[in-house]
Amino acid sequence: MATGKPVITEAEEEYLQTLFWLFEAGLPMTAANVARAMQLSAPTVSEMIGRLVRDGYISRDADRTISFTDSGRADAERIVSRHRMIERFLTDVVGVPWDDVHEEAEHLEHAMTPRFEAYVIASVGDALTCPHGHPIKVGERIDGVPLADCDLGAEVKILRLENEAEDLLHYLKHNGIEPGLDGEIAAKDAETITVRSAAGDSVVTISVAETVSVIADPSPPPRIALPEQLVLGQHRYGR
Ligand SMILES: [Zn+2]
């Protein structure tokens, strides 16, 4: 009979990715936030959280806060890193647009053999981030501030799209916001914010701008994303 942990299932991998995303964003790792982020019911999430505890990936405090075990954290980092690498591969090598790539990577990552993964690493192994600005080597995340917090006249560089829900990525791409873009805040009111760059004016709603991390000068104070921003997308949020 086999010993040790059972082989990780696809569903467990999805949950570990979500938990790691909460962890990276500085949001509380709770079943409620997982349910919100994955748009699943509380009983469904609670059952899977129980399974992850039983299989040794996470533990839960008396106050229900979730933490990774050491090996669970290593597993989560490996899964997240591989997801971002596949996204980079699909964008740079295959030519999948960056606003479609997250969902494609979700499917591919569960079907990939170790041999194919080695080819992926060989082709995009030098890349630092996924096409949405998230570090492939997790832990090397540059701190940013929400675009929504930036003042009129501030110079900004788009660092990261925190929420990878496909409809949200389509909206951002359509409106000209993408990682690496340099610009200046040219207008801002209660509803929208405008980034002016060499490519023109990009106007997005303030609620979407909550999900875009930038480096700004002058910079507003650092702030953790709002939990409501987890659920902007129709589909699952992404990471
Ligand atoms: Zn990504």
The alpha carbon of 83 and the centre of ligand 1 are apart by a number of angstroms equal to 8
The alpha carbon of 36 and the centre of ligand 1 are apart by a number of angstroms equal to 19
Q: What is the tens place of the pLDDT at every residue in 101-143? A: 988 898 888 888 889 989 998 999 889 999 999 999 888 888 8
Is the pLDDT score of 238 beyond 80? no
Q: Which of 23, 153, 30, 17 is nearest to 83 (CA)?
A: 17
Structure tokens at 208: 């979407």
The alpha carbon of 65 and the centre of ligand 1 are apart by a number of angstroms equal to 26
Q: What is the pTM of this model?
A: 0.87
Q: What is the CA radius of gyration of the chain?
A: 18
Residues facing 215 on adjacent strands? 157
Examine domains 72-124 and 145-231 and report if their fold is the same: no
Give yes or no for a contact between 127 and 189, defined as CB atoms under 8 angstroms apart. Answer: no
Give yes or no for a contact between 185 and 152, defined as CB atoms under 8 angstroms apart. Answer: yes
The alpha carbon of 61 and the centre of ligand 1 are apart by a number of angstroms equal to 30
Give yes or no for a contact between 150 and 214, defined as CB atoms under 8 angstroms apart. Answer: yes
Alpha-carbon span 88 to 105, nearest angstrom: 9
The alpha carbon of 120 and the centre of ligand 1 are apart by a number of angstroms equal to 15
The alpha carbon of 102 and the centre of ligand 1 are apart by a number of angstroms equal to 6
Q: What is the tens place of the pLDDT at every residue in 55-110? A: 999 999 888 899 999 999 999 999 999 999 999 999 999 999 999 998 889 888 88
- Assess if CATH 3.40.50.720 describes domain 145-231: no
Question: Which helix (DSSP H) or strand (DSSP E) does residue 108 occupy?
Answer: helix 101-111
| Backbone CA torsion sign across 19, 234, 207, 99 | positive
Cβ neighbourhood burial of 219 (10 Å; 0-12, 13-18, 19+): middle
The alpha carbon of 87 and the centre of ligand 1 are apart by a number of angstroms equal to 6
Q: Which of 115, 195, 189 is nearest to 158 (CA)?
A: 195
- Assess if CATH 2.30.110.10 describes domain 72-124: no
Q: Longest Cα pair distance anywhere in the chain, in angstroms?
A: 66
The alpha carbon of 131 and the centre of ligand 1 are apart by a number of angstroms equal to 6
The alpha carbon of 63 and the centre of ligand 1 are apart by a number of angstroms equal to 32
| Cβ partners under 8 Å of residue 209, min gap 6 | 146, 147, 148, 193
Inter-CA distances, 144 with 113, 150, 210, Å: 35, 11, 12
Is the pLDDT score of 37 beyond 80? yes
The alpha carbon of 42 and the centre of ligand 1 are apart by a number of angstroms equal to 26
Give yes or no for a contact between 202 and 180, defined as CB atoms under 8 angstroms apart. Answer: no
Q: Determine the pLDDT at residue 73.
A: 95
Per-domain boundaries in the chain: 10-68, 72-124, 145-231
Alpha-carbon span 216 to 26, nearest angstrom: 20
The alpha carbon of 168 and the centre of ligand 1 are apart by a number of angstroms equal to 13
Q: Give me the CATH topology for the region 10-68.
A: Arc Repressor Mutant, subunit A (1.10.10)
Give yes or no for a contact between 18 and 48, defined as CB atoms under 8 angstroms apart. Answer: no
Q: Determine the pLDDT at residue 173.
A: 95
Inter-CA distances, 127 with 84, 95, 121, 123, Å: 10, 15, 9, 9
The alpha carbon of 3 and the centre of ligand 1 are apart by a number of angstroms equal to 35
